[in-house]
């Protein structure tokens, strides 16, 4: 510092103590104050650098003349710096009230750990205790490890010494106007809490709302942390701003524009195959369920299928909601995405093994090779056109259930006409679909509307949470606060989807108990209505807590889509079987039999068609409107339209 120092001529009396008070006195001395340190008899003084620029005076305050010497010294001083616990100076008749009567311009600074009042004011402590009480210690350290104090810099020297020095400076400035001294109570706990004001205030913005070690400025971001180097040292990286981040990437990667095309291609292929397998397995499962179970077991199976679908969805969303990057497993596998794919592969492999080992299947014998050809009786009504009936691909039964009968030539009593198996072609399949009865067609349309509404919300829900509810920006730099806030919103969105899946499972379990009271029509209508109202509410009034609560309506819709339409399919077929049985008793012929497999397949195809509509249409709507809020509004509108459709056009059987 050039020229006269700002505290030149200011006289300070510092009572010897531990590090915080000596450091405060050193700061005052460095800026020109004349600091006299009062030491105890027999003490070696202060050999540390904190004694820089000070003079020492030994005074025995336990002797009668000791306090008198101190009063004469303080009468000529501008500042007294006292580091003792409350009440010590008062016992010596050297309290602030006594000294201020003798020197009204005196600034009496009291520097202590817990302050002059409160629950702990008489308790001794150290830096780590003050940090803990201020709350700051809980925010310092690596994720998954114990909190680590930054030596004794923060509470002792930051919240104590420097805050006390600042208070002395302001009191000296105020004295130039009023001519009066004052008492300064510098608490290390309160000073540390004051220094951490930015930390607590920015929790609401998403900057410090993650657990310890998982925020942008505490080592939780790859561009603001330390890395171990090859020589055993460490390198600190702080590239928060976009231009510095680009320089870091440029230095680490020779050509950042080069893309690993082969890796992208393999990833896309894997995702397509994985999605294909996950989506298209649903139809065969329901077809198998309908083919081998009684009507009561079909209903029970559908409810259990929806229940386990919800539990599986909850597990998947839970994996996405956890920040694996700061856990040991995430560090071991590399990224949080690798953790999620690892668990997906593990669950898929486990379920595959269980599936192979669960139900042994007897091989189907080719009876055409083992038995001589027999001329099947031709029924005039069973012409070749009959295979074009809707769903005729299914329900071609093999009468050789017993392998021994097959070896005997297949001699059974009263072989049914349906024994003659016909080949299903693409042409006949399309004809069967085009000849779909009206009530099946209405059910498929309602299913399409429902899945369009549901997928419109679910596929973009996390993006809605990040942008609309949390006001983040996915297009900003990945090391910006806006992007980190968006990521936080996405994580909370995953928790919302997890709530949806859990509630879907619970609703599926209790859904059967509601059928006698409201019927399938009531369940169908209620599912669409609650979903439409819930999505409309969060679209009009986006809020974190209300949105999470409304995620329960998503679960109602999910369970409804997985159970009610297929229950209706089962009831349609049950009704048709009764009609066929009555026709058979009356001598009529079964010329309109449909297979349940094709019915399930047609209904399941509506899910894929809804994905095409959502994928092709919502992106365009978002670009036109400029906000993803249109996503939930569209979902709400589609659900309410579907609500009217299921009430007016879908056929129900009492």
Least confident among 12-16, 61-65, 388-392 = 388-392
In the numeric block, the tokens 């609560």 are attached to: 549
Q: Phi, psi (5° rounding) for residue 206?
A: 95, 0
Question: Using CA atoms in the order 578, 584, 586, 589, what is the torsion angle rounded to 10 degrees?
Answer: 120
Q: Which of the two residues, 283 and 533, has the higher pLDDT score?
A: 533
- Retrieve residue 605's tokens: 């195809």
- Tell me the pLDDT band of 516, cut-offs 50, 70 and 90: confident
- Give 62's contacts (C-beta < 8 A, 6+ positions apart): none
- Tell me the pLDDT band of 388, cut-offs 50, 70 and 90: very low
Active site residue 126: yes
CA gap 28, 34 in Å, rounded: 8
- Tell me the pLDDT band of 103, cut-offs 50, 70 and 90: very high
Q: Which of the two residues, 653 and 257, has the higher pLDDT score?
A: 653
- Retrieve residue 194's tokens: 């004051």
pLDDT at site 389: 41
- Retrieve residue 198's tokens: 């930015």
- Give 649's contacts (C-beta < 8 A, 6+ positions apart): 442, 445, 446
**Whole-number mean pLDDT of the chain?**
82
Considering only CA atoms, give the Rg of the chain. 39
DSSP structure string for 177-195: HH----EEEEEHHHHHHHH
User: Which CATH code, of 3.40.50.2300, 3.30.1540.10, 3.40.710.10, 3.40.50.300, is assigned to 208-258?
Assistant: 3.30.1540.10
In the numeric block, the tokens 């159970």 are attached to: 563
**Taking the chain, what is the end-to-end CA distance rounded to the nearest angstrom?**
94
Residue 397 confidence (pLDDT) above 70:
no
Q: What is the pLDDT of residues 187-208, one digit of tens each?
A: 999 999 999 998 888 877 777 8
Residue 325 in contact with residue 335, Cβ under 8 Å? yes
CA gap 423, 387 in Å, rounded: 8
Q: Which of 156, 218, 590, 599 is catalytic?
A: 156
- Tell me the pLDDT band of 399, cut-offs 50, 70 and 90: very low
Q: What is the pLDDT of residues 522-534, one digit of tens each?
A: 999 999 999 999 9
DSSP state for residue 229 in the 8-state scheme: -
pLDDT at site 390: 40
pLDDT at site 415: 45
Active site residue 156: yes
Helix, strand, coil percentages for the chain (3-state, nearest 5):
60, 5, 35
What's the mean pLDDT in 573-587?
79
**CA angle, residues 299, 305, 306, in degrees to nearest 5:** 95
Domain 11-201 in CATH 3.40.50.10540: yes
Q: Which of 39, 126, 295, 370 is catalytic?
A: 126
Q: What is the pLDDT of residues 203-252, one digit of tens each?
A: 777 778 788 888 888 887 778 888 888 888 999 998 888 888 888 877 77
Residue 279 confidence (pLDDT) above 70:
no
DSSP state for residue 78 in the 8-state scheme: S
Instruction: Kindly state which CATH superfamily the domain 261-307+440-648 is placed in.
Output: MFS general substrate transporter like domains (1.20.1250.20)
- Retrieve residue 291's tokens: 């083919």
Least confident among 61-75, 321-335, 447-461, 629-643 = 321-335
- Tell me the pLDDT band of 367, cut-offs 50, 70 and 90: low
pLDDT at site 396: 38
User: pTM score, two decimals?
Assistant: 0.56
């Amino acid at each position: 510092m050039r020229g006269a120092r700002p505290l030149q001529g200011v006289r300070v009396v510092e009572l010897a103590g531990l590090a915080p008070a000596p450091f405060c006195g050193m700061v005052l001395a460095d800026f020109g104050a004349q600091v006299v340190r009062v030491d105890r008899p027999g003490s070696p003084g202060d050999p540390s650098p904190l004694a820089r620029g000070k003079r020492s005076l030994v005074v025995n305050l336990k002797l009668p003349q000791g306090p008198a010497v101190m009063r004469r010294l303080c009468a000529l001083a501008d500042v007294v710096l006292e580091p003792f616990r409350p009440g010590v100076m008062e016992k010596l008749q050297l309290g602030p009230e006594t000294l201020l009567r003798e020197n009204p311009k005196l600034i009496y600074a009291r520097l202590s750990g817990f302050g002059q009042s409160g629950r702990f004011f008489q308790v001794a402590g150290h830096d780590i205790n003050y940090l803990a009480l201020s709350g700051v210690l809980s925010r310092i350290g690596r994720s998954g490890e114990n909190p680590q104090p930054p030596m004794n810099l923060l509470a002792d020297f930051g919240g104590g010494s420097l805050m006390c020095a600042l208070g002395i400076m302001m009191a000296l400035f105020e004295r130039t106007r009023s001519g009066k001294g004052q008492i300064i109570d510098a608490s290390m706990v309160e000073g540390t809490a004051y220094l951490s004001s930015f930390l607590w205030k920015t929790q609401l913005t998403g900057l410090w709302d993650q657990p310890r070690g998982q925020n942008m400025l505490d080592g939780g971001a790859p561009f603001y942390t330390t890395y171990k180097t090859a020589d055993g040292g460490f390198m600190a990286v702080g590239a928060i701003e976009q231009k510095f981040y680009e320089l870091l990437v440029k230095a680490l990667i020779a050509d950042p524009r080069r893309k690993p095309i082969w890796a992208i291609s393999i990833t896309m292929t894997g995702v397509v195959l994985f999605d294909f397998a996950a989506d298209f397995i649903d139809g065969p499962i329901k077809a198998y369920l309908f083919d081998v179970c009684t009507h009561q077991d079909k209903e029970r199976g559908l409810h259990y299928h929806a229940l386990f679908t919800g539990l599986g969805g909850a597990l998947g969303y839970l994996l996405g909601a956890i920040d694996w990057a700061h856990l040991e497993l995430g560090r071991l596998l590399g990224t949080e995405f690798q953790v999620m794919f690892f668990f997906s592969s593990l669950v898929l492999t486990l379920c595959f093994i269980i599936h192979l080992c669960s139900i042994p299947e007897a091989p189907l014998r080719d009876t055409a090779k083992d038995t001589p050809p027999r001329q099947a009786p031709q029924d005039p009504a069973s012409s070749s056109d009959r295979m074009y009936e809707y769903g005729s691909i299914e329900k071609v039964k093999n009468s050789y259930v017993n392998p021994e009968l097959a070896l005997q030539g297949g001699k059974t009593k009263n072989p049914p006409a349906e024994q003659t198996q016909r080949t299903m072609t693409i042409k006949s399949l399309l004809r069967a679909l085009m000849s779909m009865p009206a009530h099946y067609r209405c059910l498929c349309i309602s299913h399409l509307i429902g899945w369009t509404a549901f997928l419109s919300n679910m596929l973009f829900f996390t993006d809605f949470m990040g942008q609309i509810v949390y006001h983040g920006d996915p297009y900003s730099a990945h090391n910006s606060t806006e992007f980190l806030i968006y990521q936080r919103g996405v994580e909370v969105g995953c928790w919302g989807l997890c709530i949806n899946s859990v509630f879907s499972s619970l609703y599926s379990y209790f859904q059967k108990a509601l059928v006698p009271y409201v019927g399938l029509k009531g369940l169908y209508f209620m599912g669409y209505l609650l979903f439409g109202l819930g999505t409309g509410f969060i679209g009009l009034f986006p809020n974190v807590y209300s949105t999470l609560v409304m995620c329960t309506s998503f679960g109602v819709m999910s369970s409804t889509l997985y159970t009610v339409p297929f229950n209706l399919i089962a009831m349609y077929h049950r009704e048709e079987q009764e009609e066929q049985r009555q026709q058979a008793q009356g001598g009529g012929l079964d010329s309109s039999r449909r297979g349940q497999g094709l019915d399930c397949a047609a209904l399941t195809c509506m899910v894929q068609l809804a994905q095409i509509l959502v994928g092709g249409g919502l992106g365009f709507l978002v670009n036109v409107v400029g906000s993803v809020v249109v996503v939930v509004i569209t979902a709400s509108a589609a659900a309410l339209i579907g609500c009217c459709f299921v009430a007016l056009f879908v056929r129900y059987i009492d």
